[in-house]
Amino acid sequence: MAELCSVCGHTVTVDELRICPSCGHYFPLSPEQRIALIADEGSFVEMEGSMQSVNPISLAGYEEKLKESQKKSALTDAVTIGSCTIEGEAAIVAVMAFSFMGGSMGSVVGEKITQAILEGALNHCAVILFTASGGARMQEGIFSLMQMAKTASAAALLEETRTPLFIVLTNPTTGGVTASFAMLGDVILAEPGAVIGFAGPRVIEGTIGEQLPQGFQRAEFQLERGFVDAIVERKHLKKTLSFLIKTHKGREVSHVG
Amino acid sequence: MLDESPRFKDAVDKMVEHTQLSSWESVQLSRRLGRPGAMTFINLICDSFMELHGDRFYGDDPAMVGGIGLVDGQAVTFIGNRKGANLRENVRYNYGMSNPEGYRKALRLARQAEKFGRPIVCFIDTPGAYPGLGSEERGIGEAIAQNLKAFSTLKTPILVFIIGEGGSGGALGIGVGDKLYMLEHAVYSVITPEGFASILLRDPSKAAEAAEAMKMTAHHLREFGVIHDIIEEGSAEETAACIKAIIVRDLAVLCSKPHTHLVRYRIRKIRGIGEVSGIAKTWWKPLLGVFGKTESLS
Ligand SMILES: [Zn+2]
């Protein structure tokens, strides 16, 4: 199927890696496509697939907005979690979907990310989180902000069990997701060209009163600044993740007793 | 010592006179120039206070104050957003908006407090973290993330007071603790009402409407169970006396608890926040055992 590339403007046909053959732009992957790319065939078992948002601050229009997004995306919310194997190595994975309300983190995203992390901690199984988010879900008010603390405290718990947390930053990862679990990986990977930052580009431009330098907040910029371990091309992602799982088995600290 | 309190109290009295404040009026009061800030309260609460500077990596962020104070003879580490009491100070303190070094200084002082068995008191009063070039280059997201993670398992009591504006991740970066209090006209939200209005209502002039919809006042947040209690505001001295009484009362209880209990309680509390349909809330609890174990190892 031919698609329009938002970067070079060409109409192109992409394979399962979904990379523009004309300019190399990485098209977004749905959670299903992402899982197909990294998980061993048929190994993925979804967790908490039916969890739904409520309207915690009773905001007018939020329920309709959710329903509309669910209909458009065939997802229940902005993250899919589950277990799988990657070249035979067991992992708990979470994949965010920017297409669902900008990948914003509300109570469901926060809870599912937290459950993925704790499931990994409980089973001493590597946790891999693929981020794609504009930040906190404002429609849930203070509850969305609190998801940052919740996911970060889950990461603290995971650390106590010496279970590895791997992050794959995809385009874009900003706001409350960057300022919580996305920056807490033992290893942090990024996809080429992904925008990664805290404040949005327009907010920064508004503050400093000038245009941002070329490449600001891109994965390559973050690699240079020391906030990303490696930029990994999609075709190498599965192999890279299985390498990381194998090399992070370390010493196990039991939580029992 | 800053003497802003009488004028500020007049302004509050004037607004409170007739009716209960609207959310937008609370927002305006929380931001009002001359509202008592972290330094005012620290000076009024402590017998003596020594400020400590720097993050040991890059620099010292004046928008984040930290140091050690004596409260009725007990050593306490204080961390707070600092806005300043007048326009000149506002500029010097970047209107209370910290760069990464502010959060890293806060973390350094928090770890120091843990190491030497001092409890921590945080004062939140910021529109948010500073959205600037340098702030991004030095990893403001990473700095806040590390604080959320570290504060959630810090083995010393942490009390948090929102005394003015509680703005988003920049507030939360020093806002994870055992007990959370708000002054009655303070606000706490995921984004400013102006931001909410321009993004969700597509009209930046609808900030008052946004403030109402966002449910960001102390009363709303107590209803949500996000904060423990609301502190009535009087003059700076009266408010400081209330805060001090709470610090003394809470620390007497919290300091007597084993650290492992504190951390388990804190993590359970953080874990419980959020509203979703149908989840099992207990399967993960055996994991809390790691905190008992880790401590006996070290
Ligand atoms: Zn292209």
Contacts of B149 in chain A (CB under 8 A): 152-153, 155-156, 159, 184
- The answer, for B196 touching chain A at a CB cutoff of 8 Å, is yes
Shortest Cα–Cα distance, A118 to chain B (Å): 7
**Domain range holding B137?**
2-256
Full-model pTM: 0.94
Query: Which domain CATH number covers B135?
Result: 3.90.226.10
Residue B4 has pLDDT above 80, yes or no: no
Residue B84 lies in a domain: yes
Q: What is the pLDDT of residues A183-237, one digit of tens each?
A: 999 999 999 999 999 998 888 988 888 899 999 999 999 999 999 999 999 999 9
Shortest Cα–Cα distance, B204 to chain A (Å): 14
> Is there a contact between B149 and A178 if contact means CB atoms under 8 Å apart?
no
Residue B267 lies in a domain: no
Shortest Cα–Cα distance, A192 to chain B (Å): 18
Cβ contacts of B242 within 8 Å, gap of 6 or more: B231, B232, B234
Residue A99 lies in a domain: yes
| pLDDT recorded at residue B204 | 87
| Residue B6: band (very low, low, confident or very high) from pLDDT cuts 50, 70, 90 | low
Residue A225 lies in a domain: yes
| Residue A257: band (very low, low, confident or very high) from pLDDT cuts 50, 70, 90 | very low
**How far, in Å, CA of B36 to CA of A225, rounded?**
38
Residue B292 lies in a domain: no
Q: What is the pLDDT of residues A40-66, one digit of tens each?
A: 999 999 999 999 999 999 999 999 999
Question: What is the tally of structural domains in chain B?
Answer: 1
Query: Which domain CATH number covers A219?
Result: 3.90.226.10
Q: Say if CB A93 and CB A166 are below 8 A apart.
A: no
Residue A229 lies in a domain: yes
DSSP A212: P
Q: Nearest-CA neighbor of A257 among B288, B198, B224, B266?
A: B288
Q: What residue type is assigned to position B164 of the chain?
A: G
Residue B125 lies in a domain: yes
Residue B90 lies in a domain: yes
Q: Which residues are placed with Cβ below 5 angstroms of ligand 1, an ion?
A: A 5, 7-8, 20, 22-23, 25
* Mean pLDDT for all residues in chain B: 91
Partner residue facing A149 (CB), from B172, B278, B294: B172
Residue B143 lies in a domain: yes
| Residue B275: band (very low, low, confident or very high) from pLDDT cuts 50, 70, 90 | low
Residue A254 lies in a domain: no
Q: Say if CB A34 and CB A20 are below 8 A apart.
A: no
| pLDDT recorded at residue A251 | 63
Q: What is the pLDDT of residues B139-164, one digit of tens each?
A: 999 999 999 999 999 999 999 999 99
| pLDDT recorded at residue B18 | 46
Average pLDDT over residues B21-34: 93
**Domain range holding A118?**
28-247
% of chain A at pLDDT higher than 70: 97
Residue A257 lies in a domain: no
Residue A123 lies in a domain: yes
Q: What are phi and psi of B3, to 5 degrees?
A: -110, 65
Residue A18 lies in a domain: no
Question: What is the tally of structural domains in chain A?
Answer: 1
CB-side neighbour CA atoms (13 Å) of B163:
30
CB atoms within 10 A of CB A162: 17
Residue B266 lies in a domain: no
A172 cis-preceded (ω within 30 degrees of 0): yes
| Residue B20: band (very low, low, confident or very high) from pLDDT cuts 50, 70, 90 | confident
Q: What is the pLDDT of residues A65-117, one digit of tens each?
A: 999 999 999 999 999 999 999 999 999 999 999 999 999 999 999 999 999 99
Partner residue facing A142 (CB), from B131, B139, B188: B188
Rounded to two decimals, the ipTM of the complex is 0.96
The residue among B57, B147, B148 with the most chain A CBs within 10 A of its CB, best to mutate, is B148
What is the distance of C-alpha B281 from the center of its chain? 27
Q: Say if CB B242 and CB B231 are below 8 A apart.
A: yes
> Is there a contact between B172 and A197 if contact means CB atoms under 8 Å apart?
no
